[in-house]
Amino acid sequence: MELYITPFSPPCWSVLLLGRQLNLKINTKSLDLDKEEHLKEDFIKINPEHTVPTLVDGDLILSESRAILSYLMDAYAKENHPLYPRAAKARALIQHRLNFDLGTLYSRFFVYCSPMWNDKATSTEAQRDRLCEALGFLETYLSRSRYAVGDHLTIADFSLVASVSAIDVCYVKLEKYPKVVAWYERCKKELLGYRKLWLVNSRASGSF
């Protein structure tokens, strides 16, 4: 398998963390977005949306980190693995949390924090309020269970912890969300390679 990434991308982190957790052999190919390597013809032929992460596994080309997480579990984990159990209700909740991350938490993080990476743009209080509202939603979900879905790790936690890790360094105080903080600390201890990945990507990105 080949995985196209950029070091400062939280969605890329989630896939790398799951790969470590499942002990998968994944050849990473880092793209420098500042040099517009993601816009080069060779990569656009692979992924016309020119987004990362992008997974190439034989004849399968798959982008969008949350789809990649689900695929890796179906293709390479044992059947009914606790990270992605087959029970319909459990999977429905996992998919909800993944979509909540995609459409709400990570989306609002990106809208609020991305102007900080551009000297000509500024974030607004309204954008910050919407991000804090999303953290409040996550706080509510985590008041129902120790992890994003139930009382053990699932792939929903891999996606959400990558987003929260990025939010954590984006001048947003997490202390207002004690359930989020407690879950975040648990995930940092339980996700294999989390601290190493964080340190490597922090140095590489200059932002995280």
Active-site residue, from 9, 63, 65, 165:
9
Interatomic CA distance for residues 91 and 201, integer angstroms? 30
pLDDT at 201 over 80: no
pTM of the predicted protein model? 0.93
Q: Mean pLDDT throughout 141-146?
A: 97
Give domain limits for the chain: 2-80+195-205, 88-192
Q: Rounded to 5 degrees, what angle do the CA atoms 56, 69, 18 make?
A: 100
Interatomic CA distance for residues 84 and 65, integer angstroms? 15
Q: Mean pLDDT throughout 167-171?
A: 87
Q: What is the mean pLDDT of the chain?
A: 92
CATH of domain 88-192: 1.20.1050.10
pLDDT at 112 over 60: yes
Least confident of 5-14, 34-43, 163-172, 190-199: 190-199
Kindly list the distances between the CA atom of residue 40 and the CA atoms of 9, 32, 45, 51, 150, in Å, as whole numbers in the listed order.
19, 11, 9, 12, 42
**CATH superfamily, region 2-80+195-205:** Glutaredoxin (3.40.30.10)
Buried/exposed 30-64: b ≥16 CB within 10 Å, e otherwise: ebeeeeebbeeeebeeebeebbbbbbbbeeeebbb
Residue 154 · residue 94 · CB < 8 Å: yes
pLDDT band with cut points at 50, 70 and 90 for residue 76: very high
pLDDT at 205 over 70: no
Q: Mean pLDDT throughout 53-77?
A: 98
Sheet holding 2-5, edge to edge: 27-30, 2-5, 54-57, 60-63
- Lookup: tokens for 108: 């609002």
Least confident of 73-77, 128-132, 152-156, 193-197: 193-197
Q: What's phi and psi for 3, nearest 5 deg?
A: -125, 115
End-to-end CA distance of the chain: 26
SS (H, E, C) 10-39: HHHHHHHHHHHHCCCCCEEEECCHHHCHHH
Interatomic CA distance for residues 182 and 177, integer angstroms? 9
Q: Mean pLDDT throughout 37-48?
A: 96
Total Cβ atoms within 10 A of residue 133:
12
Q: Specify whether 30 is catalytic.
A: no
pLDDT band with cut points at 50, 70 and 90 for residue 207: very low
